[in-house]
Amino acid sequence: MARFTTSDGLSLYYTDAGEGPAVLCLAGLTRNSADFSFLAPHLTGYRMICMDYRGRGQSDNAPDFMSYNILHEGHDAIELLDHLRLDRVTLIGTSRGGLIAMALAHGHPGRLVGVVLNDIGPEVADEGIARIMDYVGRTPDLPDLDAAAGALAHVNALAFHGVPLARWRAQAEFMFHETPGRGLGLRYDPKLRDALVGQAGAGEAPELWQMFDALRDIPTAVIRGENSDLLSVETLAAMKARNPDLITTTVPNRGHVPFLDEPEALSAIRTVLGRAQ
């Protein structure tokens, strides 16, 4: 566990464990480095680095919430690699992290030897966006982490059939913290919502298909949750059509996003790691 300082003065948190080829793990929009806890036991023989974005987890909040965007967060990731003196890594990106991976493939292709996109592509389904905007920046009205685990299990019962309550309890602790007498708190800056609204209003979204095309010469896998409401079957097929070498897999009984310790997810990750040079 360590910290580094970005060029605009923020202290960002990261973990750095293991030995071997470097793997940089980037989490989802409101998530943090703890999300890769389920994957970690399966990456023996690799150096696993997980970064908390600005405004998430144990990293500093940004004075300017509009810097919560994939280009700025991608720049932070490059600065972390420079801080660690790592020229090239395999990048495993969950949701938001996958968008950042595409941005880095476009702007810094020489830094990536392999990429895994966890339930994300160049197009995101409206249904998934609506679900995200329904919760982002809002503290759940729940008394404690046990209640949060029950709520997660209930809300995700159909998309994540068969996931035990203990897994949701662990996930709840990754996402929230208990505040004595005040219930739960978010593990990210609530102004992230303001950033999303402001960026949508500005109408200046990056050209994600162009960024995805930059992955063509980099070993890449896409993991899709069978019940995902963010990465559609049609978008995954279009990605495969544009990049025939793309490794694709679907994880049954998973929505957005797979935990990455499922056999299908691990197989895709190991294939990319095997091809990365």
213 residue type, one letter: D
Superfamily of domain 2-126+205-275: Alpha/Beta hydrolase fold, catalytic domain (3.40.50.1820)
Does the pLDDT of residue 203 top 70, yes or no?
no
Kindly state the percentage of the chain with pLDDT values over 90.
94
Mean pLDDT score of the chain, rounded to an integer?
A: 95
| pLDDT given at position 134 | 93
Quick one: pLDDT band at residue 205, thresholds 50, 70, 90? low
User: Tokens 């080829």 — which residue?
Assistant: 21
- For the chain, which residues make up each domain, given as ranges? 2-126+205-275
Strands (E) across 45-172 are located at: 47-51, 89-94, 112-118
Q: Among candidates 142, 138, 168, which has minimal Cα distance to 155? A: 168
Strands of the sheet containing 2-5, edge to edge, are 2-5, 11-17, 47-51, 22-26, 89-94, 112-118, 220-225, 247-251
Q: For 260-272, how does the pLDDT look when each residue is reduced to its tens digit (9 = 90+)?
A: 999 999 999 999 9
CA distances from 52 to 12, 24, 217 (A): 7, 11, 28
Does the pLDDT of residue 119 top 70, yes or no?
yes
Q: Among candidates 84, 94, 89, which has minimal Cα distance to 30? A: 94
Quick one: pLDDT band at residue 179, thresholds 50, 70, 90? confident
Q: For 32-59, how does the pLDDT look when each residue is reduced to its tens digit (9 = 90+)?
A: 999 999 999 999 999 999 999 999 999 9
Does the pLDDT of residue 277 top 80, yes or no?
no
| pLDDT given at position 202 | 61
How far from the centroid of its chain's Cα atoms is residue 267's Cα? 19
258 residue type, one letter: P
- Residues with Cβ within 8 Å of residue 103, at least 6 apart in sequence: 70, 71, 74, 206, 211
Q: How large is the average pLDDT for residues 9-30?
A: 98
Helical segments of 41-136, H only: 70-83, 96-107, 126-135
Q: How large is the average pLDDT for residues 126-154?
A: 95
| pLDDT given at position 199 | 85
Structure tokens at 231: 């990465």
Quick one: pLDDT band at residue 204, thresholds 50, 70, 90? low
pTM passes above 0.85? yes
| pLDDT given at position 181 | 80
Q: For 206-232, how does the pLDDT look when each residue is reduced to its tens digit (9 = 90+)?
A: 689 999 999 999 999 999 999 999 999
**Torsion (CA) 7, 79, 176, 121 in degrees, nearest 10:** 120
Rounded to a whole number of angstroms, the distance between the first and last alpha carbons of the chain is 27
SS3 215: coil
Q: For 88-101, how does the pLDDT look when each residue is reduced to its tens digit (9 = 90+)?
A: 999 999 999 999 99
Across the strands, what pairs with 26? Answer: 51, 93
